[in-house]
Chain A
Amino acid sequence: MHSVEIRDLDLSFGAIEVLKGLNLNIEDGEFLVLLGSSGCGKSTLLNCIAGLLEVTDGQIFIKDRNVTWEEPSDRGIGMVFQSYALYPQMTVEGNLSFGLKNARMSKDEIAKRVARAAEILQIEPLLKRKPAALSGGQRQRVAIGRALVRDADVFLFDEPLSNLDAKLRADLRVEIKRLHQQLKNTIIYVTHDQVEALTLADRIAVMKGGQIQQLASPTEIYNRPGNRYVADFVGSPAMNFIEGLLIEDRFEARDQVLSLSGYPFAKQPGGPATMGIRPEHVATAAAAESLPFNADVPVEVVEPMGSDTLVWTRIADEPFRVRLDGQTSIQPGDRLKVGIDLSKASFFDAETEVRL
């Protein structure tokens, strides 16, 4: 059974088309992340699912029920906003129970649900406080609690961690994942942060220009990106790209020629293409010797990041990043031997940018 199903969804504001013929099926209990840069339509899509925006065309089903014309409160969803959106004049308890009171639920039931949500999120000591007296992390917990008490089938998260500082974000991220494992609700989670996407998702939908570029598991997205945009957007530091020419079983880039045996092409290649390789998949020193592509490159900039070190070099006059172990000692001006393992590389058509 599909938990959420979106069929041919269009949304335009006047002449501006934000979503174009979008189709998406989300399984029961799945954690789906909508990932994209700002303006790609991911939040718009979430608002459409929530019923906060009227769609121009298409249908939305939640639990096999057509909810296209339903009010947000009747769709069986709970939503968490980036700005928390807590009602400032109400206590935490008031915030949690507001929706239930609107649904004319009995006092006992409200108290029971609030107590349960407070227990799950460990916010019991805060129940009598106003949102202004809470820290950012506590506020976001309350916001999650507000979705929780609704006992919704689907939780919608709209960049819930973007307003928090880095450490708190990492903590709450784990908690959201734990919460999902415990409750097993369907979650649709919007973010522009690829780390959140990769760590949380069962499946990631990478969006651009109102369309889904690739919908796949985090491993698939990371290791076998469907096109150049996805390859470039996911992964930090970003993937290296080398422009070149595919001729039969060779890839020619400037003065280098690579044999292509060992790369599983989806279709018979030929013509201009781009090779992509992630910085951590570049082999160095002795390991590089045995690989088909290897070069001796100058080190330009070194960025030590503790656990690993990022080295900026140049191949064929293009910036080229290599990720090394954090303990490596290397200085700008040194020379580094690099090699590329083709089984870990990706090739994209230079014109369509689709994976080959």
Chain B
Amino acid sequence: MVDLTSSRYVEGPRGPKPRRSFSRANIFLYGTLIVVSVYYLLPLYVMVVTSLKGMPEIRTGNIFSPPLEITFQPWVKAWAQACTGINCDGLSRGFWNSVKILIPSIVLSIAVASVNGYALARWKFKGSEVFFTILIVGAFIPYQTMLYPLVIILREIGLMGDLSGLVLVHTIFGMPILTLLFRNYFASIPEDLHKAARVDGAGFWSIYFRIMLPMSLPIFVVAIILQVTGIWNDFLFGVIYTKPETYPMTVQLNNIVNSVQGVKEYNVNMAATLLTGLVPLVIYFVSGKLFVRGIAAGAVKG
């Protein structure tokens, strides 16, 4: 018999290298992460606790202390009773306006941009590169320069102050970045697949719907997230191209928070702000994983 334990192995390193959990690098890494998290989460915490307090409690001035008596009254008021101008039906009106703006804008901009990107990536035509360059340059022109011309255009075609006018504006301004996103994603799908489909007799639309679309869920999720956050958070276009009855939620939030009459109801303001931010937040939580996958996939090729 051979004594395996003593003869085969000599003293010294063997197997996986041991790691210390409290190394200097780890302390530094997690320390930084914790500090940064606190920095970002503290305002959110203040907002949440303030929105759950009554006004008398807020006046005591302890903004970091948790509520002694939890009340949902500020939330109800922000949603259904807060006054902006002559309307006293709270943020609900703005919420539904925003939804009415958001959904058609997303559907329209993503539908057009995905076909755009697909055509630019896979059906190169004469001047397609020039067209693409012009489109991308569009992404770098400051919005402010286009505000007034757009007012005139919308007035001329009779959509000024109408929700559909704002939908049109959002669709146009989403085009450059979305086209770039889709073009890069479709360019990363192997060209052989496209060739095989052509040999199989599939045309422009058939390849788009039957081959490309089913492979592109991640990038569609990315586009949806970008557009939801962008359009939902938009204030500038909303305040310019709509009127009080059709104000989106962000504009209405501003009007509630910045109203100069009466007592400043901090709890209602906080609740209103949280309500407004809820939609993008929910979208992020629901689709976080797909978002990362899509961003990574779309970013590979330029």
A85 touches B192 (CB 8 A): yes
Residues on A with beta carbons closer than 8 Å to the beta carbon of B26: none
**How many Å lie between the Cα of A50 and that of B194 in the bound state?**
13
Closest B residue by C-beta to A87: B211
A73 interface residue per 8 A CB criterion: yes
A103 interface residue per 8 A CB criterion: yes
Residues on B with beta carbons closer than 8 Å to the beta carbon of A146: 196, 200
> When A79-B195, A83-B190, A102-B206 are in contact, do A89 and B200 touch as well, CB less than 8 Å?
no
> When A52-B195, A79-B195 are in contact, do A85 and B190 touch as well, CB less than 8 Å?
yes
Q: Mark A88-109, 1 if CB is under 8 A from B, else 0.
A: 1100000000110011000000
A71 interface residue per 8 A CB criterion: yes
> When A88-B215, A89-B214, A89-B215 are in contact, do A52 and B190 touch as well, CB less than 8 Å?
no
In the complex, how many residues of chain B place their beta carbon closer than 8 angstroms to a beta carbon of chain A? 16
Which A residues from 72 to 128 make CB contacts under 8 A with B?
Answer: 72-74, 77-79, 81-89, 98-99, 102-103
Neighbour of A85 across the interface among B193, B202, B214, CB < 8 A? B193
Task: Give A106 Cβ to nearest chain B Cβ, in Å.
Answer: 16
Closest A residue by C-beta to B194: A85
B127 interface residue per 8 A CB criterion: no
**How many Å lie between the Cα of A87 and that of B209 in the bound state?**
12
B197 interface residue per 8 A CB criterion: yes
Residues on B with beta carbons closer than 8 Å to the beta carbon of A86: 196
B158 interface residue per 8 A CB criterion: no
B200 touches A98 (CB 8 A): yes
A81 touches B192 (CB 8 A): yes
B199 interface residue per 8 A CB criterion: yes
B198 interface residue per 8 A CB criterion: yes
**How many Å lie between the Cα of A50 and that of B191 in the bound state?**
14
A98 touches B202 (CB 8 A): yes
Residues on A with beta carbons closer than 8 Å to the beta carbon of B215: 88-89
Closest A residue by C-beta to B200: A99
Neighbour of A83 across the interface among B192, B199, B201, B202, CB < 8 A? B192
**How many Å lie between the Cα of A85 and that of B211 in the bound state?**
11
B195 touches A81 (CB 8 A): yes
Residues on A with beta carbons closer than 8 Å to the beta carbon of B211: 87
B199 touches A73 (CB 8 A): yes
Residues on A with beta carbons closer than 8 Å to the beta carbon of B199: 50, 52, 72-73, 77-79, 99
Residues on B with beta carbons closer than 8 Å to the beta carbon of A72: 195, 198-199, 201
**How many Å lie between the Cα of A98 and that of B200 in the bound state?**
7
Which A residues from 44 to 86 make CB contacts under 8 A with B?
Answer: 47, 50-52, 71-74, 77-79, 81-86
> When A85-B190, A88-B215, A89-B215 are in contact, do A102 and B196 touch as well, CB less than 8 Å?
no
> When A81-B192, A85-B190 are in contact, do A71 and B197 touch as well, CB less than 8 Å?
no
B192 touches A102 (CB 8 A): no
**How many Å lie between the Cα of A79 and that of B215 in the bound state?**
22
**How many Å lie between the Cα of A86 and that of B211 in the bound state?**
10
Residues on A with beta carbons closer than 8 Å to the beta carbon of B210: 87, 98
**How many Å lie between the Cα of A72 and that of B200 in the bound state?**
8
Which A residues from 149 to 180 make CB contacts under 8 A with B?
Answer: 150
Which A residues from 192 to 243 make CB contacts under 8 A with B?
Answer: none
**How many Å lie between the Cα of A74 and that of B199 in the bound state?**
8
**How many Å lie between the Cα of A309 and that of B302 in the bound state?**
49
Residues on B with beta carbons closer than 8 Å to the beta carbon of A79: 195-196, 199
A102 touches B202 (CB 8 A): yes
B201 touches A73 (CB 8 A): yes
The residue in B197, B201, B210 that gathers the most chain A C-beta atoms within 10 A of its C-beta is B201
**How many Å lie between the Cα of A76 and that of B176 in the bound state?**
40
> When A88-B215, A89-B214, A102-B206 are in contact, do A73 and B190 touch as well, CB less than 8 Å?
no
**How many Å lie between the Cα of A275 and that of B197 in the bound state?**
49
A99 touches B193 (CB 8 A): no
B196 touches A73 (CB 8 A): no
Closest B residue by C-beta to A98: B200
Neighbour of A99 across the interface among B192, B201, B214, CB < 8 A? B201
Closest B residue by C-beta to A50: B199
- Residue numbers of A with Cβ under 8 A of B are 47, 50-52, 71-74, 77-79, 81-89, 98-99, 102-103, 146, 150
25 inter-chain pairs at a CB distance below 8 angstroms, sorted by A residue, are: A50-B199, A52-B198, A71-B198, A72-B195, A73-B198, A73-B201, A73-B202, A74-B201, A79-B195, A79-B196, A81-B192, A81-B195, A83-B190, A83-B192, A87-B196, A89-B214, A89-B215, A98-B200, A98-B202, A99-B200, A102-B201, A102-B202, A102-B206, A103-B201, A150-B200
Known: A78-B199, A83-B190, A98-B210. 10 other contacts (CB 8 A): A47-B195, A52-B198, A71-B201, A72-B198, A74-B201, A77-B199, A85-B190, A85-B192, A87-B193, A99-B202
6 nearest CB pairs, A to B: A73-B201, A99-B200, A85-B192, A102-B201, A89-B214, A85-B196
